[in-house]
Amino acid sequence: MDWKKIKEDSFQAGFRKLIKKTFQLPNGKIEDFDIKKEGPAVCILALSKDNNVVLARQFRPGPEKTLLELPGGLVDKNETPLEAAKREFLEETGYIGDFQFVGESLDCAYSTMIRYNFVAINCHKIQKQKLEENEFIEIVEMSLAEFRKHLKGGQLTDIESAYLGLDYLKLL
């Protein structure tokens, strides 16, 4: 089962970065894979003081739908995942809370993305959102019972982070 990486070369594709990775496969053959260079990212399952889940209602250009998503985003350079999680959460929602790190997860077999999953409890609003020019986010607080149904419906892109967070908090 040993794969051996021979070389890799990054290239740009529109706004995206890809990496052409060349491997020697266990059967000796040489094969190229175009891997998505993405992340690292953070994602936050946030509970208000009343135990409602704090969600970010926003349009998503991949599925072309308005989704009720967990807050989150990319980790900036010179920033720890925890700092990124607190920053993204405050920017997107205007809320703060008590953060705990749940664990890492992997997004895709063909992406470099590592996701750092957090929970935040006792969340409450302290200021207005600070959104980027192309962000249009409406905050929605949803009861845990409704949120569990929302998860089963599959209409969000952070399902793994949500389940990992609920599991961590023993709220499954």
Query: Minimal distance in Å, beta carbon 5 to a copy of itself?
Result: 7
Q: How far is the CB of 39 from a copy of itself (least distance, A)?
A: 10
Q: List interacting residues with a copy of itself (CB under 8 A).
A: 1, 3, 5, 11, 13-16, 18, 20-21, 23, 25-27, 29, 31-36, 57-67, 69, 103-115, 117, 133-134, 136, 138, 151-157, 159-160, 163-164, 167-168, 172
What gap in Å lies between CA 172 and CA 169, rounded to an integer? 8
Neighbours of 119 (CB within 10 A): 25
Kindly state the smallest distance separating residue 10's Cβ from a copy of itself, in Å: 11
Minimum distance from CB of 145 to a copy of itself (Å)? Answer: 14
Taking CA atoms, 133 is separated from 21, 110, 130, 136, 138, in Å, by: 35, 30, 10, 8, 14
Return d(Cα 21, Cα 31) in angstroms, integer: 8
Token pair 């190229």 is at which residue? Answer: 32
Residue placing its CB nearer to a copy of itself in the complex, 56 or 123: 56
DSSP, res 162 = H
Which positions ≥6 away from 61 have C-beta within 8 Å? none
Is the Cβ of residue 126 or residue 138 nearer to a copy of itself in the bound state?
Answer: 138
**Longest C-alpha distance within the chain, in Å?**
59
Select 93 or 117, whichever has its Cβ closest to a copy of itself.
117
CB 47 → a copy of itself: shortest distance, Å? 18
Residue 108 or 126: which CB sits closer to a copy of itself? 108
Task: Tell me whether residue 76 or residue 103 sits nearer to a copy of itself (CB atom).
Answer: 103
Q: Are 104 and 114 in contact (CB under 8 A)?
A: yes
